[in-house]
């Protein structure tokens, strides 16, 4: 792929340009992963090693403090990163046990309570229809595809990870009328609080794109959560609204240079327009 072949010279140019350009404002970057099948564990291991050598990885608690105004924690050579996973696939629990624990990394896992409650084939149908938005049928999903159980989510919490809300059933919030919006946004935290003993301050809206969110949805989210993470690339700096947090989607199948380019903000320029639109929705 051309963009993969260009990643190395692009990264070299970006680093040189930044050395000349001087210091940038301190930023927190949020990395966004989804299902992490076992054949991607080595790539995840390499990514975490790279990020730890650069800006370092912060825990969800440290990220909250950072976003609340304590902008410290940056290492020489890069921005600190928070690791997040969306959708709550069972592979996330396996990756936490096999890879994250080896690095001592604590992550934030966004889950959909309404889908966790479904069993077997009903859950696979819902994953295809809601998480993949009907682009896949249940029969197209890998055989092992399922979501974490409440027991596995509880185990993540016991390991020191944090759980966030990803809406009740992974609907596109920008298309929902008010009553369904409230159920998807507020109802989600009610179930999480009942199941896990406390509500979460974190929300990540499904699909993450600028067309998947609206001013009405962000207003409802703000009544229930302190932090709302999008899927729009960019740095989170002091002036970034906590309801419009940026995140970098990570494709573990991409080469290491391309992932470094993503983590170092080399693709940020392409997302300036959606970032501006997101900020106007607040």
Instruction: Using CB under 5 A, list all residues that contact Zn ion.
Output: 86-87, 206
In angstroms, give the least distance from the CB of 110 to Zn ion: 7
Residue 22, Ramachandran bin (φ over 0: left; ψ between -120 and 50: alpha; else beta): left
Using alpha carbons, select from 185, 165, 190 the residue that is nearest to residue 174: 185
Of residues 43 and 173, the one with the C-beta less far from Zn ion? 173
Question: Cα angle at 236 between 156 and 66, to 5 degrees?
Answer: 60
Of residues 147 and 259, the one with the C-beta less far from Zn ion? 147
In angstroms, give the least distance from the CB of 37 to Zn ion: 16
Longest CA–CA separation in the chain, Å: 56
Residue nearest to Zn ion (CB): 86
In angstroms, give the least distance from the CB of 112 to Zn ion: 8
Of residues 56 and 208, the one with the C-beta less far from Zn ion? 208
In angstroms, give the least distance from the CB of 124 to Zn ion: 16
User: Nearest 5°: phi and psi at 237?
Assistant: -110, 180
- Give the C-alpha separation, 79 to 143, whole Å: 38
Q: Indicate the Cα dihedral angle 144, 147, 153, 159, nearest 10°.
A: 40
In angstroms, give the least distance from the CB of 231 to Zn ion: 8
Of residues 86 and 152, the one with the C-beta less far from Zn ion? 86
Structure tokens at 235: 């740095």
Question: Cα angle at 36 between 32 and 39, to 5 degrees?
Answer: 140
Which ranges of 26-158 does DSSP label H, i.e. alpha helix? 41-53, 60-67, 90-95, 101-103, 113-116, 120-126, 150-158
Of residues 206 and 265, the one with the C-beta less far from Zn ion? 206
Of residues 66 and 85, the one with the C-beta less far from Zn ion? 85
In angstroms, give the least distance from the CB of 247 to Zn ion: 11
């Amino acid at each position: 792929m051309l963009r993969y072949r260009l990643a190395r010279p692009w990264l070299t140019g970006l680093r040189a340009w930044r050395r000349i350009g001087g210091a940038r404002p301190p930023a927190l970057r949020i990395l966004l992963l989804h299902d992490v099948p076992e054949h991607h564990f080595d790539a995840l291991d390499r990514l975490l090693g790279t990020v730890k050598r650069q800006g370092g990885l912060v825990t969800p608690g440290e990220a909250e403090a950072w976003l609340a105004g304590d902008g410290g924690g940056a290492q020489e050579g890069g921005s600190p990163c928070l690791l997040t996973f969306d959708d709550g696939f069972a592979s996330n629990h396996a990756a936490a046990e096999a890879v994250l624990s080896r690095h001592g990394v604590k992550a934030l896992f966004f889950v959909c309570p309404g889908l966790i409650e479904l069993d077997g084939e009903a859950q696979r149908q819902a994953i295809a229809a809601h998480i993949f938005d009907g682009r896949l049928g249940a029969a197209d999903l890998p055989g092992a595809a399922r979501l974490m159980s409440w027991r596995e989510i509880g185990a993540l919490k016991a390991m020191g990870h944090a759980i966030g809300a990803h809406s009740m059933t992974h609907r596109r919030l920008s298309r929902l009328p008010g009553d369904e919006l409230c159920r998807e946004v507020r109802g989600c935290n009610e179930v999480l609080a009942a199941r896990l003993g406390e509500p979460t301050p974190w929300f990540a809206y499904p699909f993450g794109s600028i067309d998947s969110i609206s001013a009405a949805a962000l207003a409802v989210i703000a009544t229930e959560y302190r932090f709302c993470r999008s899927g729009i690339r960019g740095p989170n700096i002091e002036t970034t609204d906590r309801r419009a947090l940026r995140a970098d989607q990570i494709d573990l199948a991409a080469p290491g240079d391309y992932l470094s380019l993503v983590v170092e903000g080399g693709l940020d320029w392409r997302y300036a327009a959606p970032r501006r639109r997101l900020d106007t929705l607040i």
